[in-house]
Chains A and B, each alone.
Chain A
Amino acid sequence: MSVKYTPVQWNLNKWVYDAVMLVGVVAFLWLFLFVSPELLSHEFPINPQVHNARAFGACAFVMLTVILCIGPLARIDERFLPLLYNRRHFGVMTTFVAITHASYILNWYFAFSKSDKFSALLFANTSYTQLAGFPFEAFGIFALICLAVLAATSHDFWMKFLTPPVWKRLHSLIYFAYAAVVAHVSLGILQDQQNHVFTVIFIGGALAVAGLHAYAAWLDWRGGDEVGAESNGWIEICSPEDIKNGFAKIKLLPNGERVAVFNQEGKLSAISNACAHQNGPLGEGRVIDCLVTCPWHGFQYDVTNGRSPAPFTETVPTYNLRLTDGVIQVDPKANPPGTFVEPVPIPGWQEVPA
Chain B
Amino acid sequence: MDQAELILLFAKIWGGVGALVALAFLSFGIDRLDEDAKGAYVFRPLIVPGILLIWPLVLWRWYILADGKDEWAKRYKPKRNSHNLFALIMPVLIIGIIAAGLSVRQTWPVNLAPVQLTEPGQ
Chain B positions 8-57 with a Cβ under 8 Å from a chain A Cβ: 8, 33-40, 42-43, 46-47, 49-50, 52-54, 57
Cβ of B106 within 8 Å of any chain A Cβ, yes or no, is yes
- Min CB–CB distance B2 → chain A (angstroms): 7
As a 0/1 sequence over residues 84 to 122 of chain B, the CB contacts with chain A under 8 angstroms (1 = contact) are 101111110111011011111110001000000000000
Closest-by-CB residue of B relative to A188 is B101
Cβ of A84 within 8 Å of any chain B Cβ, yes or no, is no
Total number of B residues with any Cβ neighbor in A under 8 Å = 59
B3 close to A122 (CB less than 8 A): yes
B75 close to A119 (CB less than 8 A): no
Closest-by-CB residue of B relative to A256 is B77
Total number of A residues with any Cβ neighbor in B under 8 Å = 70
Majority SS of interface residues in chain B? Answer: helix
B78 close to A152 (CB less than 8 A): no
- Min CB–CB distance B18 → chain A (angstroms): 11
- Min CB–CB distance A46 → chain B (angstroms): 14
B94 close to A155 (CB less than 8 A): no
Which residues of the partner chain B approach A279 to less than 8 Å between Cβ atoms? 76, 78
Given contacts A122-B8, A169-B79, A272-B76, contact A207 B94 (CB under 8 A): yes
- The answer, among A6, A217, A274, for a CB contact under 8 Å with B40, is A6
Q: Measuring CB to CB, which residues of chain B are less than 8 angstroms from any residue of chain A?
A: 2-5, 7-8, 33-40, 42-43, 46-47, 49-50, 52-54, 57-58, 61, 65, 70, 72-80, 82-84, 86-91, 93-95, 97-98, 100-106, 110
Instruction: Give 10 closest A-B pairs by Cβ, nearest first.
Output: A186-B101, A210-B91, A122-B4, A152-B49, A152-B50, A279-B78, A132-B104, A274-B76, A213-B87, A217-B87
